[in-house]
């Protein structure tokens, strides 16, 4: 029984570690891309009604992507008609349910026959946000790279905390752009 609990705990901890996920076209030579622009209709707010995805968050995401691409990846932002790649981004919010059942005690009674466990179950609903960043080859108009990261949305944050969270998320997503095994 103890081993089962340890395995379950390890699985839970593994599931909670939210790492970025990437996919890309292995035939593309990413080192040829030096300039970028935004896809014309790139927007966080067009497909979400969640209160945390608003114009302020849109601005934070754009700034974080711009900073990562220009400062960490040495790319230059240019007019969309001249860019090597076009950048798109979008977000979604889903509700998740976290259910915990714990043993709160073991009771044995000697004045009458019997013993038992006392269990307590709690359920909490929370929101999980996913930010997706797409890189599209401008000439072929084909998706060549996609990165995404999901995480639990926190409420009651100060603007500075939200900005730091967005910067960290975008950095994690773009940490594999261009892909490390670029040929």
Domain of residue 87: give its range.
Answer: 2-174
Q: Count of domains in the chain?
A: 1
Residues 122-129 have a mean pLDDT of: 75
Residue 122 lies in a domain: yes
Residue 119 lies in a domain: yes
DSSP string, 21-56: EEEE-TT--GGG--EEEE-TT--SGGG---TTSSHH
Q: For position 48, what pLDDT does the model report?
A: 53
Q: For position 159, what pLDDT does the model report?
A: 87
CB atoms within 10 A of CB 9: 10
Q: For position 8, what pLDDT does the model report?
A: 34
pLDDT tens per residue, range 75-98: 999 999 999 999 998 887 777 777
pLDDT tens per residue, range 17-41: 468 889 999 999 999 999 999 998 7
Residue 106 lies in a domain: yes
Three-state secondary-structure class, residue 161: helix
Q: Which pTM was predicted?
A: 0.72
Residue 128 lies in a domain: yes
pLDDT tens per residue, range 59-75: 999 999 999 999 999 99
Residue 180 lies in a domain: no
**Which of 38-52, 133-147, 165-179 has the weakest average pLDDT?**
38-52
Residues 128-156 have a mean pLDDT of: 90
């Amino acid at each position: 029984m103890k081993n089962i609990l340890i395995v379950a705990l390890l699985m839970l901890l593994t599931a909670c570690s939210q790492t970025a996920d990437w996919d890309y076209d292995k035939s593309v030579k990413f080192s040829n891309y030096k300039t970028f622009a935004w896809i014309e209709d790139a927007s966080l707010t067009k497909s979400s009604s969640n209160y945390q995805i608003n114009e302020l968050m849109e601005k934070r995401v754009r700034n974080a992507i711009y900073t990562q691409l220009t400062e960490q990846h040495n790319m230059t932002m240019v007019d969309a008609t001249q860019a090597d790649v076009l950048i798109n981004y979008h977000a979604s919010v889903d509700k998740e349910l976290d259910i915990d059942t714990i043993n709160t005690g073991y009771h044995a009674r000697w004045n009458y026959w019997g013993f038992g466990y006392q269990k307590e179950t709690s359920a909490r609903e929370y929101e999980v946000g996913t930010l997706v960043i797409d890189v599209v080859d401008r000439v072929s108009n084909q998706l060549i790279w996609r990165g995404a990261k999901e995480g639990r949305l926190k409420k009651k944050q100060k603007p500075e905390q939200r900005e730091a969270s967005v910067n960290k998320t975008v950095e994690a997503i773009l940490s594999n752009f261009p892909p490390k095994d670029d040929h």
